[in-house]
Structure 1
Amino acid sequence: MWKNGKAQRIIWPIRWQQAKAALMKQYGTKILYGILIIGFIISIIHAFNDSGGSAFGNIIETLIIISLLIFIVSIAYLLFSFKYYSNKVSFWILFLASCPLSINYIRYSAAELYLELIDTTTPKEYVYNLKVDSSKYQADKIRLQNQVDSLIKIKIIQKPSELARRYFNGQFFNDSIERDWAIDLPTGLDYMETVIDTLFYAENGNDVIAGLLINKVYNDYMNYPNGGVEFIGRGFIYDKTEIKPFKLLRNSVSGHETYETCSDKLRYFYLKKIGSYKNRLNMNDIRFLYGEK
């Protein structure tokens, strides 16, 4: 009995492994094609039901997920039964087709994870570390917040100029007035609140020269079709001597439902991500703030 029991304990795992291998051989490639077909069906649904850039983005996301699934499952198949699948042309077609998207996404995810774990990509010798009195810092934040709000209310600034034909905001003017937006923020939003998230100062420690701001807005397209509150973050250069003191930088973060998530993403982008691009500098890089020395 003991011998029979011991033999069964040895035989059953072997049979189970053999059964799994048989099932894998029988249905392995079919499963991969099933994943591919499901991906195409989901992509078609996105193409017909979503709108504009949303459809394109969702289709790309679906293709990435499908490629990853095929890539991971294919690797598992090769580990379990390389000899069998090494001769399957249809298997290799799917596996190799999934490699470019999958490998690029894995590399991208690893790079993003690295950025999440570090404080900044700015080299230590160039990191902005100017200390400013906290009361001054808070006072400057409030002052700039109020200034942004006032510029939003003003909307348009006008200054005398030479008589000429000009185009502004969808209209032509033939006069001696030069028109411009008081601050270059989107005009189709209902601005509810402005928060200065971060400030950077000139080397004298007195003058604000750059920063990050977040606008709380009501956007009809947020949680479409219901509309809702959205937080949008931007970087800016500040020059108090200019008629337009805020120069908004081109990169922004949007679509956030809370201030905290918007702030985290904004800081991530301007203090880490930008510096990872070739020939670009983070906002906390003194070469960006003060110029090359």
Structure 2
Amino acid sequence: MIKARGLARRFETRQGPVEAVRGVDLDVAEGELVGFLGPNGAGKSTTLRMLTTLLTPTAGEALVAGCDLLTDPAGVRERIGYVGQQPGGGQDQRVGEELELQGRFHGLSRHESRRRAAGLLERLDLTGLEKRLVATLSGGQQRRLDIAMGLIHRPALVFLDEPSTGLDPQSRRNLWEHIRGLGVTVFLTTHYLDEADFLCDRVLVIDHGAIVAEGSPDELKNRVSGDLVVLGTPQAARIAPRFDGATVDGDVVSFRVPDGDRALPSLLRSLDADGVELRSVQVHRPTLDDVFLTMTGRSLREDDRAA
């Protein structure tokens, strides 16, 4: 569905040229749900805008939904759906009318637009809202309407740009379930590590305009050396040297061990035999943020907040 080679974009600024994207190679297979993860300024939005024909690459080439990005941008637009960060529905339009209008923009007949709109309303749990003004919908309902608008012409590939930003946790989870059931190839950008972990078959991590990691969430997390064990004990400083790479923060010592759940019983027996007083014990599986930290030396969450 997507094959990009050497995709790059340079911006000219008063301070000089900025290499926003530096020769990205990526492949997305039919039916995949691929997440594009990275901090603000990493090149996510620029790459997405290039792949959706909204921005012309400075260098490189790509096939998107079977069409050449540079020589046939109109063909690309006919075959993809795009859901941006901002609500796409006209706030003073009725839900059913807005979907029908979107279908007409794509060349569908009035009858076919209404038929497809009815199916999408049911599929995305919006049935009964046809006569409601878009402005009266909840945040989650508006995002599902945006997705319906992006699917009205039955594209083979849908781009979702941070689809759950601004939603409350319950609405985000509900939206995730609907995205998982779309049945088309999906390429989405996100700031949320848990969103990428829950939704994506495969994750691409971009930093400073280049892909720094790629794989399924589990494959990426397996690159981190073991599970994180966190012990609360007044003897934290004394026991830290027995664990490779241990860090101490007051009465807390943290370190990584392979397969933490299996290692923990014997570890606790050993500490008890040495008279170590334990106040708390936690075992954490690696996260996608740990992957980013391993690959770049900094936290994705911290980098996002700073940006």
TM-score, normalising length: structure 1: 0.24
Between Structure 1 and Structure 2, whose CA radius of gyration is higher?
1
| Higher-helix-fraction structure | 1
TM-score, normalising length: structure 2: 0.23
